[in-house]
Amino acid sequence: MLDVKLFQMHTFLPLPYEDALAPRLKRAHEKLQTGSGAGGAFTGWVHLPRDYDREEFARIQAAAARIRSDSKALVVIGIGGSYLGARGVIDCLCSPNYNLKRKDGPNIYFVGNGLSADALQEVLDLVEDVDFSVNVISKSGTTTEPAVAFRFFREALVARYGKEGARSRIYATTDRHKGALKSLADEEGWETFVVPDDVGGRYSVLTAVGLLPIAVAGVDIQALMDGAAGMMERCQDASFDCPAWRYAAIRYELYRSGRSVELLACYDPAFRFMLEWWKQLFGESEGKDDKGLFPASVEFTADLHSMGQYIQEGKRLMFETVVRLGASAHQLSVPVDEADGDGLNFLAGKTMDFIRDRAMEGTLLAHTEGGVPNIIVDAGGKTPADLGALIYFFEYACGLSGYLLDVNPFDQPGVEAYKKNMFALLGKPGYEDRKAQLEAKLSK
Ligand code: PA5
């Protein structure tokens, strides 16, 4: 069962803070539960694991089964909250090498998460000779990166299967009523799935946004939802017994004591895109009004050989949150070598998990002695249910954290600045004045 603690708590947070913080956490909790805080119209994810649309869930499973039977590749088009969750879960539960390892079901390619022509062309080439389907995901239906990528893959589908044939291979996940993608889907007759109005992009992995690609990868999405529902129940408890409450409280106190960076760490490379998902979740939710911890990530032990130096002895900016996923599926033991030329026989017969865990403990001690507090999130395991619980835990802690900081954890006004400049520079109608101003600035 998921648990959270701050290692050597009293070294880093010497004064009791729980009683002082409890009323504020309780208010934050009530805001999340009732949708009465800033951005409350976007708290649909809070009860989603209990209230999700069962009919749509069954359609997701049916669509996934269809894609698995009629396609050798699924192209998933989306960016930000419409991308990272699905990728994180598939990498973590299947493998970062999913496409190389899978025994059945299609390859899954993620596009539309950037503006690289080479990345796009690569996937167009990869699907050239195989049957493929497309899941285009955009809540707004107007985001440039996925919309542009979709044009290419729609064209490729129509060229391959004709307009009629392409129709049954396009799955659009978007707003229930509005947006360019929704209008197109209605006109063209594509199957659609809904991003609920009250769930923002970065909190949407447990909606069709994440669930359809995850189900296509063969993951048990019912178990994922059940794990999230279990954590939702635990988060009803408005007390320090709730792990999300503890995590939000500890990171807030570390922030107040001067830490400005939170490094999320994991010892499993399969967790890489969950780290990316977490960075978006916390970065977009907290980073506003001149406030917020900067969310960064490290993959251990690889990054101990790069970032480890800074963490140990650089500017004391950060604390670490280490996600522990428990025992590996494979218990590999180090082989004996009679010659012992590499001097490693002291490890012969030891499992890789044993070695990893000693590295983890050694790092924990070294980094805390170097003045870096370490929060430990023990996820309990790496099953779909464990990951569902972990996802909900982070989402709930993020909502609480936003309200502790007195910011709206559900908007992202800062994301618009680059978009307006990009539209102006691209000559989008309506941006003429801005285009002239920006071009003048660029030419200086
Ligand atoms: O969290 C968010 O709201 C953003 O990251 C969005 O998910 C991202 O910008 C993509 O938006 P959309 O789904 O509307 O294309």
Any domain includes 167: yes
Same domain, 346 and 314: yes
Marked catalytic residue, from 284, 286, 299, 320: 284
Any domain includes 42: no
Any domain includes 429: no
Any domain includes 437: no
Tokens linked to 332: 């590999």
Same domain, 247 and 380: yes
Rounded distance between C-alpha atoms, residue 275 and residue 261, angstroms: 14
Three-state DSSP state, 307: coil
Same domain, 52 and 147: yes
Q: What pLDDT does residue 179 have?
A: 93
What residues in the chain have per-residue pLDDT under 50?
Answer: none
H or E stretch covering 318: strand 318-324
Residue 305 is a catalytic residue = yes
Tokens linked to 234: 């635990």
Task: Report whether 321 contacts 262 (CB < 8 A).
Answer: yes
Q: Residue 56's CB: how many other CB atoms inside 10 A?
A: 16
Same domain, 122 and 271: no
Same domain, 325 and 354: yes
Residue 330 is a catalytic residue = no
CATH assignment of the domain containing 19 = 3.40.50.10490
Q: Which of 82, 84, 415 is the pocket-test mutation for ligand 1 (most atoms within 8 Å of CB)? A: 82
Q: How far is CA 324 from CA 224, 330, 338, 380, in A?
A: 18, 16, 34, 7
Q: Which of 139, 175, 410 is the pocket-test mutation for ligand 1 (most atoms within 8 Å of CB)? A: 139
Same domain, 68 and 193: yes
Three-state DSSP state, 13: coil
Tokens linked to 271: 């967790």
Any domain includes 424: no
For 63, half-sphere exposure in the C-beta direction (CA atoms, 13 angstrom radius) is: 26
67 by Cβ neighbours in 10 Å (0-12 / 13-18 / 19+) ranks as buried
81 lines ligand 1 (CB under 6 A): yes
Nearest Cα to Cα of residue 108 among 138, 116, 89: 89
Q: What pLDDT does residue 244 have?
A: 98
Same domain, 143 and 197: yes
Nearest Cα to Cα of residue 285 among 378, 401, 433, 187: 401
Residue tagged 């982070």 (tokens): 394
Rounded distance between C-alpha atoms, residue 195 and residue 181, angstroms: 12
140 lines ligand 1 (CB under 6 A): yes
Any domain includes 419: no
Same domain, 31 and 77: no
Q: What is the pLDDT of residues 260-318, one digit of tens each?
A: 999 999 999 999 999 999 999 999 999 999 999 999 999 999 999 999 999 999 999 99
Any domain includes 183: yes
Report, in angstroms and rounded to the nearest whole number, the Rg of the chain calculated over CA atoms: 23
Rounded distance between C-alpha atoms, residue 277 and residue 295, angstroms: 11
Range of the domain at 230: 3-35+225-404
Q: What pLDDT does residue 102 have?
A: 87
Q: What is the pLDDT of residues 218-270, one digit of tens each?
A: 999 999 999 999 999 999 999 999 999 999 999 999 999 999 999 999 999 99
Same domain, 213 and 311: no
207 lines ligand 1 (CB under 6 A): no
Three-state DSSP state, 129: coil
79 lines ligand 1 (CB under 6 A): yes
The DSSP annotation for 364-394 comes to HHHHHHTT--EEEEE----SHHHHHHHHHHH
Given 404, 419, 434, the domain boundary residue is 404
Same domain, 177 and 130: yes
Q: Which of 42, 76, 79 is the pocket-test mutation for ligand 1 (most atoms within 8 Å of CB)? A: 79
What are the φ and ψ backbone dihedral angles of 298, each rounded to 5 degrees? -140, 145
Q: What share of the chain is helix, strand, coil (3-state, %, to 5)?
A: 55, 15, 30
82 lines ligand 1 (CB under 6 A): yes
Ligand 1 centroid–CA 348 distance in Å is: 49
Same domain, 354 and 248: yes
Q: What pLDDT does residue 104 have?
A: 87
Name the DSSP letter for residue 314: S
- Of ligand 1's listed atoms, the one at least distance from the Cα of 81 is 7
- Of ligand 1's listed atoms, the one at least distance from the Cα of 146 is 15
Q: What pLDDT does residue 138 have?
A: 97
Rounded distance between C-alpha atoms, residue 209 and residue 192, angstroms: 11
Same domain, 307 and 196: no
What total number of domains does the chain contain? 2
Ligand 1 centroid–CA 79 distance in Å is: 6
Nearest Cα to Cα of residue 160 among 194, 122, 133: 133
Q: What pLDDT does residue 416 have?
A: 86
Any domain includes 439: no
Given 219, 243, 269, the domain boundary residue is 219
Three-state DSSP state, 397: helix
Ligand 1 centroid–CA 239 distance in Å is: 32
Q: Which residues, including other chains, have CB under 8 Å from residue 173's CB and lie 6 or more apart?
A: 78, 82, 135, 136, 137, 138, 192, 193, 194, 195, 208, 209, 212
Given 196, 219, 242, the domain boundary residue is 219
Q: What pLDDT does residue 103 have?
A: 83
